[in-house]
Structure 1
Amino acid sequence: MFSAPLVLLGLLALPGLYFLLRLTPPAARRVRFPPLALLRGLATVERTPARMPLWLLLLRLLIAALVIVGLAGPQLHPPPALPGRGPVLLVIDNGWASAGDWAARRDAALQVVASAEQAKRGVSVLATARDASNATPRVQGVMPAVQAAQMLAAMVPEPWPVDRAGAARALRGATGDVVYLADGITDGPGFGAFMTALHPSRILSDGVVATLLAAPRLLANGELAVHLAAGGRSGRVLAETATGDVLANAAFADDEAHLALPVAVRNAVVRLVLTGPASVGGTLLLDNTARGGMVGLLAGAGNAEAPFLGSLYYVRRAVPLGSETMTGDVAALLAAKVNVIIAADAPFNDTQIQALRGFINRGGVLIRFAGPLTADAPDSLAPDVLLAGDRRLGGALTWSAPQSLAPFAAASPFAGLPADTGVSVSRQILADPTQLSPGTVWASLHDGTPLVLGRQMGAGYLVSVLTSANAAWSNLALSGLYPAMLGRLVQLAQGAPPKPDAPLPLAQALNGSGGLETAAGTASVTARELPDLMVSPEHPPGLYGGGAAMLALNMGGHVPPVVAAALPGAVAFDGAAEPLPFGPWLLAAAVVMLAVDLIISLLLRGLLRLRGAVVVALLLLVGAGHANAQDAALGTTLGYVLTGDAATDQITADGMSYLSALVSAHTSAQLGAPVGLTPGVDDISLYPMIYWPVLPGSAAPSAAACEALVSYMQHGGLLVIDTPGGDAGAAGSGAGFAPGAADAVQRDTACLNLPQLQPLTTDNVLAHCFYIVLDFPGRFVGAPVLIANEAARDADGVSPVIMAQNDWVGAWARDNAGNPEQTPLPDGDDQRILADRFGTNLVIYALTGSYKADQASLPALLNKLSAP
C-alpha cells in the first residue's frame, strides 16, 4: 500500500523519459586538438551521433522510478489484526500487570476497533479483571465500534490480578473471532484452562512488562533495602514525601537497591516509586514498621558498655533496626531531639524529672529499667507507685523460685508476642499493689506480679521495666523476646500499634497507576491476617487504619509470582497496526545511484580519473571522528570526573548540564555540553572547572589520575570536590546520607598534595563574583565549604580547589522535562534557588578569577571618599 498513491502516476512518464534519454547524445569528450595535417583524408560523410549506452540508460530510468515510488509512500503492512468475517471479541487483560504498557495496550485495542468499524463488523469486549464492585468478568455484548471505543477509552488498569477462572466462564457461549491483548504473565495455575476456553485467533502482547517491588527491609546499618521482584532492572527507586518531593534515589544492583537515609529523613518518606511507567506494582507505601526513631541511652553509674555486664550492653543490641542511638545525659538527649529515652538504672533529680515529663507530654517515650540505684530510692517518675527495695526470687536464703513470664494481655502493647517460657526473673522492683491503676500492667509474672508498667502521658508514654536491663536480675536480656518487646516499646514513639485482631478500615487505596485515592468501599483487614493476605477488590492495596495504627498493604508478596506466559504467535502492540514505511529507503537508494551516475558521467567525459573517483567515493563514506578535547579547545566546556557508578554519573551529568545552561542563559558566557572525564586517560587541561563527586567505598584514583589532577590545579584549573552527603553526626543537613564520606575524601585526595584549606566566608570573591550569596548550599546545607588559604592561591588570588559535602549537583540536576530530580534539605525549592546562584558564581569564579575582588573593598573606598 501507499500513503500517496497518486504520485505513482509519474511512472507513466518513464516511456517518454526513455526516448528522451535515448535521443540525447552524451556530452562530447574533451581531447587535445590534433594538428590540421591529421585532418587530411577524413571522410565528409555525415554520421549519426553516438547514443547513450543502454546500461546507463537503464540506470537513470531506475533512479527515476525509485524517486517516484519512494515519494508515493510505500508501506509494508503486517497480517490483518482481524481474522475472520463475523463479530470481533476483544479480550483485554486489565489487571495490575498491565499498567506498565497500558497506553500502548489501549491504543492497540482502539486500532482493532477502528479496523472492525472499517470492515463493518460488530465488537464485543471482555476485561479479565474484576471491577471495584468485585463483579466477575463478563462479555459486553456485540456493540457498534464507536461504543466499544468509548468503553476502551474509559477503561483503566485495576490494582489486583486478573480473574482467569471468571473470564473463562464468561467465554462460554461467546461468539466472534477472538483478539487477545495479553499482559504476558500466567497469574496462577488457571492460565492453561483460560487459554483453552479463549482459543484466540490473534494474540497481541509486549511480553512481561510488569514491575513489582517487594516489601522493604531495614538493614542493620540503617539502610532501607528494596528488592525488585520483577521488571525495571534499569530503573531507579525514588523515596518520595507526601507532597511528591524526592528525598533520595538509588539504582538497582543484583535486583536490590539500598537507600541510606538518616532516621529523620527516612521517617518523612511515605512511598517508594520505581522510575518508568507509573504502576501499582512499582509503588511501595511505607507505614510505621519501616520507620525508626532516635533512641537516647543513659545509665546510672559504672561502665554501662562493658561486654555482657554493662547495663546498656544488651539494650544497644536490642534496639530495633532502623533506629539511631546516642548516649548522653538528660540535657544532651533532649537537646538532640530524640524520640525515645532508655534509662538503665538511672535515678533522676527534680529538674530532670520535670524536663522528662515535658518530653513525654510532647510525644516522647521514656523506658526505665530497674537496678540497685533506683530500687533504693524510687522517684515519682513511674506509671504507678513503686515500693522501695527489691524482691528476690530463688537463691539459698529464699523459699521462692524464679518466676517466668505470664502470657501477654490483649490490651498490652506486647499482645501477639509469644511468652517465652524460658525467661525467668530472679530479682525485681515491686509496684504498690494497693495503688495500681487499671490498664497499666503490660506484662506480669506467672504469680501475677507486675513486670512492666506503662501509662500514656499527654502525647507520649512512660514505661517502667521492673527488672534490670542486663542479665543481672533476669535472663530476659538473653532471650529472643527482649528485642521484640523493646521494639514494641520504641514503636510507641510513632503511636500505639494496632491490636492484632482489631479491624483496620481502608483509609486510602492505590489505583492501577500507583496513585492514592480516597477509599470508597468498606474494606478492612486485621494486623494478624495482613501478612498472608492477597490483594483483591475486597482487599485492595493501600493504607489501612489511621495514625500510628496504619498499616500498608502493597502488591509485593501479596500477588502470585510473576511468571512469563507462553504466547505462541504473539505480535507486539506497536506492530499490530502500524505499517512499516520503506519509501525513505528507496529515496536513499536513488540518491546513492545518482552519485554513482555522476561519477560515471565524469569518467566518460574525461573530467575524472579512476583513482580520483575512488578517493571521492571514500571521502563520501568516511566521516571525521569526534573528539572531546577539540570541543573543549574550540569552546568553553565544564568537565566532571566519572566515578563508574551509573547513577552518580547520570545525576552529575544532569546537574552539570543544567548549570551550563543556567550560566549561558544568565551571563555572557556561552558554555557547551559538559563532558565526563577520566583523569589520567583524558586530557583535562582544557576545562576551566572540573566537578569531582567522591563516593564512599570508591576506589582511590590511579597514579596517572593523581598526576593529571595535580598538573590541572597547578596550571589554573578549578577542582570542585564534593560528596553526596556526610557521615552520621557530621555538620549540615546531609549528615548520615553518605556514611564514610570523610574517609573517602581523605583517601582519594591523599595523592593530590592539596594546599592548606580554610573555611569559605562571604568576604571571599566567590561570594559576590556574580550573585551576592550569604550561604553556599547544595542539596544539603550547613557543612563547611573549604577553600585554599591566601598563600596557596595563584597570582590572581584564585583557589585551585574547593571542597564540601553539600552535594551541589544533586540540587542542580534536572531531568529531560526540566523537573528537579532531588529535593534539597531542609528548605526545598528556596534552597535550590540559592544552590543555582552559588553554582553560577562557581563557574564565573573559574572563568574570570578575582577581577571582582575590588568589590570587597568598595564600602571602605566609598567611606574614604566621602570623608571630609
Structure 2
Amino acid sequence: MNALSFATPAVLGALLALPLIWWLLRLTPPRPQQEVFPPLKILARVLKREETPAKSPWWLTALRIALAAAIILALAGPVLNRDTTALSTSGPLTLVIDNGWAAAPDWERRTQTAATLIDAAERADLPVSIAFTAEQAQDATPGTAAGAREKLAAARPRPLATDRARTVETVAAALDGATPGTLAFLTDGIETDAQTPALDRLANLRPADLRVIQADAARIAALTTVTNGATSMSARAVRLDGAAPLVATVSALDAQGRVIASGPLTFGPGERETTAELNLPFELRNDFARLQIDGFQTAGAVRLLDDGFKRRRVALISGESGSDFQPLLQPLYYIERALGPYADLVKPDSPDLATAIPALLEQNPSAIIMADVGRLPAGVYEPMQRWLANGGTLIRFAGSRLAAAPADDPLVPVLLRQGERAFGGALSWSEPQPLAPFPPTGPFAGLPNPDGVTVTRQVLAEPVPDLAQRTLASLADGTPLVTMKDDGAGRIILFHVSAEATWSNLPISGHFVEMLRRLVQLSRSGGVSAEAQAAATATLPPWRLLTANGSLTAETGNARPLTLNPATPPKASHDTPPGLYGSEDGFTALNLLPADATLEPIASSAAMPVTRLALAGDSARPLSPWLYLAAFLMLLADGLIMLFINGAFRRLPKAAAAAAALAALAFLAPLAPDYARADDSRPGDELILDRLKTTRLAYVTTGEPEVDRISQQGLAGLTDFLLWRTALEPGQPVGLDIAKDELAFYPLIYWPVSATAPMPSPEAISRIDAYMRAGGTVLFDTRDQIGGLGGTQTSPNTERLQAILGNIDIPPLEPVPENHVLARSFYLLHDFTGRYNGSPLWVEARSDGRASATSLSSSGDGVSPILITGNDFAGAWAIDDAGNAVLPTVPADETQREHAFRAGVNIMMYMLTGNYKADQVHIPALLERLGQ
C-alpha cells in the first residue's frame, strides 16, 4: 500500500495564489518584436499602425502557472512511502540477515529495518527468530522481541563472505518443524552458492510470506586480482549491478595510510568487470601497502599487498655478448622472456664487469642472474658478498666458462667437479636424463611434474654430506640440477645447465618461467638497501586484521595463526580472517576474495511468490527532485519561447558564421617553423669516425720501446700483405694503451707478452675482459715458442701470461683443430707458424667436445675471443721502410715467413667474416654426390 505525505504541508497553502498569478500573467504581454529595417522600408511603412499584443497567449500563461505549481509542490517535500509493517500471523517472524563484508556500508539501515519488523512482531505478539549469515555459531530459537533486539544490537558486520547454507540449517533446526509466518531475508544481494541459490533454501522452509529486503546493489564493488606489471600496477575490479555506468577511483596507500597514487576505475553500461591502471615507476609501486576503491568502505573493496606483490629489480649478466642475428642462442634470451612480465630487468651499460657490477649494485637489485659467467674480476667479489649478506639473491647458470672456472669459487653454492657431464654421446652409456618430480618442500613445491624436460649436458657437484639439503631440483638419477646455499641474509642458486637450450630443453618449457619467478620472489623486494628479511616460517601469527569497513586493526581477537602451504593458497575464514599475518619485519597478506572472484546477484528458481522491498530509508521515495527537474525544464522552455518571439533566432545564421570564421582562424594560425638544428658534436668525433670508416690492426703498447717497435713494424707488414693479397684495405696499425684508449674500434688486438714490462693494472685487465665479452679478439703472443698452455715448460713470458689470464674469464681452450675455420678462412693451412714454429695456436674449444668448427656458443658469430701462441707472429711480419724483413725466422726459411703472413691473413679473415666458411667441411661430400 502506497501513501503520499508531505514534509512541510503548510507550503501547500501557496497553491491558493495560483489564480492571482494567472491574472497577472495575462495582463503582462510579451515585449514587442524589434526589427531593423532599411531606410526605404521605413518610409514605405510610415503610415502603418503600430500594433502591440493586448495580453499573453493562453498556452504561455498555462506553462508559467504549471512552473509555479511545481515549485510550490517541491517546497512542500512530497514523499511516497510503502507500508511494510504488516506481518503474517500464521507463524513466528523469522529474520535472516546478511552481515558479511558487503553489509558494512548500510548496516545501520539494515538494523533499522530489522528493528521495525521486530516492533511489528511485538505488537502482533509474535515470536521472533533471528540469524546472521556470517556468524560461526548462533542460536536462532524463536523468542521474545526483546531478546531479538539484544541479538540485533550485539551483531556486527564481519569481513567475511556469507554462509547461508549453514545459516538456513541452523534456522530449520531452531524452528523444529514449525512453519514461519513472515520470513524476511535482509540480503546484500550477492549469490554465494550457484548450485542451490539462497532463496531456494529459504523457500524450502515454506513461509507464508517470503520477503527479500535488499540495499542498493550499485554501491557494491570489490577488488580481486592485482598485477604489478612492467610499467604499471593493474587492479581488476568487479561489481554486483552492471546496469548503469559507474566512475570511481582506485587509490594506493603506503604503510602509514598515506595516498601515493590514484587511478580511474570506470565501469561502462552493462560492464561488471573492469581494470584500473596505476602508472608509476616500480620503485614507487613497491611502496604500495594496499589498494582501495574510494567511497566503497568494505573489506572487499580493499586489496592488501605484501612483499610478494612488489616488483623486483633483476640484473642480468652474460658471459658473452651473443649475436643479435641468432637470438635463440643468446644466454639471456629465455631469461628475459621468462621474467619480463614479473620483474624490472636491467643490464650492464658496459661489458667491463669490474665497473658494470658495482654500477648494478648501486641500483639495489633484488636479484642478479649470471648466465655462463666463470671467473669474475678480483675486485668484484667483496661487494658481491656484501650484497648477498644484506639479502640479495644470486642465480647462476652453468656453461663452458663456469665449467672451466676454479673449483673454489665462493659464489657457487656447491663444490663443482672440473669439466662437464654429457648424456647420449658416443662415449656415454647414459641417455638424456629427465627431471625427477619436484620435492614437496622448497620454492618449487606444488609445481606439476616436469614431464618432457630432459638434460643432455650439465656440470656436476662434488658429493658432500649436506648436498641433499642444498638440492632444490634433481634429475631422475638423483643428480642435482638446481642447488642453493644461504649466504648471510641472501642466497646463491645454481642451475647446473646452461640458460639456453643447448644443454637442456628446460629453458623452452613452461616450468622454466615458474621456477625463475619463484626464485626471484625469494629475494628481498628492496634489494641490498633493505634490512635482512625475516626467515620464512610455516605458521604466521595474526598481526593486523581487516575490518568489515576496510580498515586495519591490531585487535586480533580469536584469530588463529595462518599456516602456509605452497601447494594450497590460504583462504579467509572465521579462524583466519583477512589481514596481515607475521610481524613488522615480514608478513603475508590474506585477502578476502580470491583472484578470480565475481559478484553474481541472488537468483531463485522457487515457485512461491517473493516480495522484494528496500531497506529503511530506501523505501521512502522523495518526489521533490523530480518536481524541481520539471520546473527547471519548464523554465528553460519559457526562455526559449521568449527568445523565439523576440526574433533572436533570425540572427542565428550570421552569428554561427562569425563563430565558425573565428574557429577557423584559430585552427589555421600557422606556427613559425623552427629551422634550428642542434650541434651535438664533441671533441674527438673525427677520430671516432676515422676508426669506424677504416679497419685498422691494433697492438698493446708494453712500455718497452723495442717490443713496441717490432709490434708496429709487424702489423704494418701484415697490413701491406693484406693490401697486396686480399680485397681488404686496412689503415696503418695503432698502438693502444689498454688502460685508457677505446678498444671497441678494433676487431683484433695483438698483445706481445713481456715479463719485463710493467704488469697491467686490474682495471686494464678488466677492460680487456669486457672487450672480449663484447665480441673482440685478443691475440696473446709470448714470443718464446711455448705459448703458455698444454705443456710442462714455462718461461717468464709464459708465467706473465698466466698471471694476466688469471683475472680474465676465459673459455676452455684447445689447439686449432685440423678442420677449423681458421685453417680455411682464406688460405688452406695445416699449422700457424711465425718467427718460430714450435707452439700451437690455441682457440676456444667447442662445448660439445668435437673438433670441427668453432663453437656456436662463442661470441662474435663463432669467433674465438682469445688466441694464444708463442711463435712471435709480429717478429715474422716485421718489415722496415724499404720493405725488408727486420728479424730472421728460426730456422732461417723464407717459406716459413710466407706461411706466417698467410696465417696472419687467415686470422684477419676469421676476425672479419666469422664462421661462414665452416660449411666447407661438407664440400667433399657435396662433390662426391655431384659426381654420382
Same fold (TM over 0.5): yes
Q: Distance in 1 between matches of 2:537 and 2:489?
A: 24
Q: Distance in 2 between matches of 1:616 and 1:414?
A: 74
1:252 to 256, 266, 273: 266
Q: Secondary structure at the match of 1:439?
A: helix
Q: Does 2:377 correspond to 1:349?
A: yes
Q: CA deviation at 1:82?
A: 0.3
Tell me the residue number matched to 1:425.
455
Matched ranges for 1:309-458 at <5 A:
309-319=329-339, 321-328=341-348, 329-346=356-373, 347-378=375-406, 379-434=409-464, 436=466, 439-458=469-488
Alpha-carbon distance in 1 for matches of 2:405, 2:618: 83
Does structure 1 residue 206 correspond to structure 2 residue 215? yes
Partner of 2:815: none
User: Could you tell me which residue of structure 1 aligns to residue 238 of structure 2?
Assistant: 228
Q: Tell me which of 281, 301, 319 is aligned to 1:282.
A: 301
Shift of 1:179: 4.1
Partner of 2:130: 126
C-alpha separation in 2, matches of 1:141 and 1:681: 77
In the aligned structure 1, how far is the partner of 2:678 from the partner of 2:362? Answer: 31
Shift of 1:298: 0.8
Q: In structure 2, give the amino acid aligned to 1:276.
A: G
Report the secondary structure of 1:194's partner residue.
helix
Residue by residue over 1:511-549, the C-alpha shift from the partner in whole angstroms, topping out at 9 and shown as x without a partner, is 222223343322534435644x66442443334456667
User: What is the letter of the counterpart of residue 301 of structure 1?
Assistant: E
Which residue of structure 1 aligns with residue 85 of structure 2?
Answer: 82
Q: Tell me how far apart the structure 1 counterparts of residues 489 and 536 of structure 2 sit (CA, whole Å).
A: 22
1:197-235 CA distance string (max 9 Å, x none):
255465432353432333234557665352426458422
Contact 1:93 1:129 in 2 (8 A): yes
Q: Of residues 463, 471, 489 in structure 2, which corresponds to 1:459? A: 489
**Contact 1:82–1:179 (CA under 8 A) maintained in structure 2:** no
Q: What is the RMSD of the two structures over their aligned residues, measured on CA atoms?
A: 5.0
For residues 322-381 of structure 1, give each alpha carbon's deviation from its aligned partner in whole angstroms, at most 9, with x where no partner exists.
201111131221122211111111221221111110111111111111222222123232
**C-alpha displacement at 1:178, in angstroms?**
4.2
Letter in 1 for 2:234: L
How far apart, in 1, do the equivalents of 2:542 and 2:420 lie? Answer: 48
Distance 1:579-1:303 versus aligned 2 partners, 3 A rule: closer
The 5 Å alignment of 1:626-641 reads: none
Give yes or no for contact 2:572–2:590 (8 Å, CA) kept in 1: no
Letter in 1 for 2:189: G
SS at match of 2:600: coil
* 1:307 and 2:327 correspond: yes
Does 496-505 or 323-332 show the bigger shift? Answer: 496-505
Q: Does 1:573 pair with 2:615?
A: yes
1:470 to 479, 500, 523: 500
Residue 299 of structure 1: how far off its partner (Å): 1.2
C-alpha distance in 2, partners of 1:615/1:387?
A: 95
Specify the alignment match of 2:565 in structure 1: 527
Q: State the match for 2:251 in structure 1.
A: 238
Assess, with a 3 A threshold, how the Cα gap between structure 1 residues 704 and 389 changes in structure 2: closer, same or farther. Answer: farther
Residue in structure 1 matched with residue 547 of structure 2 by the alignment: 511
User: 2: CA distance between counterparts of 1:327 and 1:583?
Assistant: 62
Residues 127-173 of structure 1, C-alpha deviations (whole Å, 9 max, x = no match): 43132xx115625732349x828934863254222424423641534
Tell me, in whole angstroms, the C-alpha distance in 2 between the residues paired with 1:250 and 1:289: 24
Does structure 1 retain, via aligned residues, the 8 Å contact 2:389–2:489?
yes
SS at 1:258 equivalent: strand
More displaced, 450-459 or 156-165?
156-165
For residues 477 and 222 of structure 2, the distance between their equivalents in structure 1, rounded to whole angstroms, comes to 50
Is this contact kept in 1: 2:191–2:599, CA < 8 A? no
Contact 1:129 1:158 in 2 (8 A): no
Q: Please say if residues 161 and 559 of structure 1, whose CA atoms lie closer than 8 Å, have aligned partners that are also in contact.
A: no
| Pair 556,234 (structure 1): closer, same or farther in 2 beyond 3 Å | farther
CA–CA distance in structure 1, aligned partners of residues 392 and 536 of structure 2? 24
Distance verdict in 2 for CA 1:123–1:391, change over 3 Å: same
Relative to structure 1, the CA distance from residue 617 to residue 338 in structure 2 (aligned partners, 3 Å threshold; closer, same or farther) is closer
Instruction: Specify the structure having the higher radius of gyration (Cα).
Output: 2
The change in CA–CA distance for 1:569 and 1:143 in structure 2 (over 3 A counts) is: closer
Query: In 2, are the aligned partners of 1:127 and 1:138 still within 8 Å (CA)?
Result: yes
Partners of 1:615 and 1:373 in 2: CA distance: 87
Residue 391 (structure 1) shift: 2.4
Separation in 2, partners of 1:291, 1:273: 17
Correspondences of 1:27-42 after superposition (within 5 Å): none
Q: Tell me which amino acid in the other structure corresponds to 2:448.
A: P
Q: Summarize deviations over 1:428-476 as a string: whole Å, max 9, x none.
A: 2222224755622222223332222211111111112222111222222
Deviation track 1:231-252 (CA, whole Å, cap 9, x = no partner) reads 5842232222222223232333
Q: Give the match for residue 163 of structure 1.
A: 164
Identity %: 30
Q: Which amino acid aligns with 1:97?
A: A
The amino acid across from 1:211 in the alignment is A
Instruction: Measure the CA separation in 2 of the matches of 1:186 and 1:622.
Output: 61
- TM-aligned CA deviation for residue 620 of structure 1: 13
Q: What is the one-letter code of the residue matched to 1:321? A: P
Q: Distance in 1 between matches of 2:293 and 2:535?
A: 32
Match of 1:94 among 94, 99, 106: 99
Indicate which of 547, 550, 554 corresponds to 2:588. 550
In the alignment, the residues of structure 2 paired with residue 122 and residue 535 of structure 1 have an alpha-carbon distance, to the nearest angstrom, of 38
2:483 is paired with a residue whose SS is strand
Alignment correspondent of 1:193:
201
Q: Assess if the C-alpha contact under 8 Å between 1:208 and 1:564 holds in 2.
A: no
Q: Confirm or deny: 8 A CA contact 1:424 1:475 kept in the other structure.
A: yes
Does the CA-based 8 Å contact 2:160-2:592 persist in structure 1? no
User: What is the CA distance between 1:500 and its match in structure 2?
Assistant: 12
Please say if 1:540 is aligned against 2:577: yes
Q: Kindly state the Cα deviation for residue 420 of structure 1 after the two structures are TM-superposed.
A: 1.8
Contact kept? 1:501, 1:528, Cα under 8 Å: no
Change (3 A) 1:479 1:527: same
User: For 1:340 and 1:619, how far apart are their aligned partners in 2?
Assistant: 73
Give the 3 Å change call, closer, same or farther, for CA 393–222 of structure 1 in structure 2: farther
Describe the shift of the 1:755–1:510 C-alpha distance in structure 2 as closer, same or farther (beyond 3 A). Answer: farther
Quickly say closer, same or farther: Cα 1:528–1:390, change in 2 above 3 A.
closer
- Deviation of 1:256 (Å): 2.3
Deviation per CA, 1:57-106: give whole Å up to 9, x if none.
xx9xx99x999997995855523220048685544322233335435434
Shift of 1:293: 0.7
Question: Which amino acid is 1:242 matched to?
Answer: A
- Partner secondary structure for residue 268 of structure 1: coil
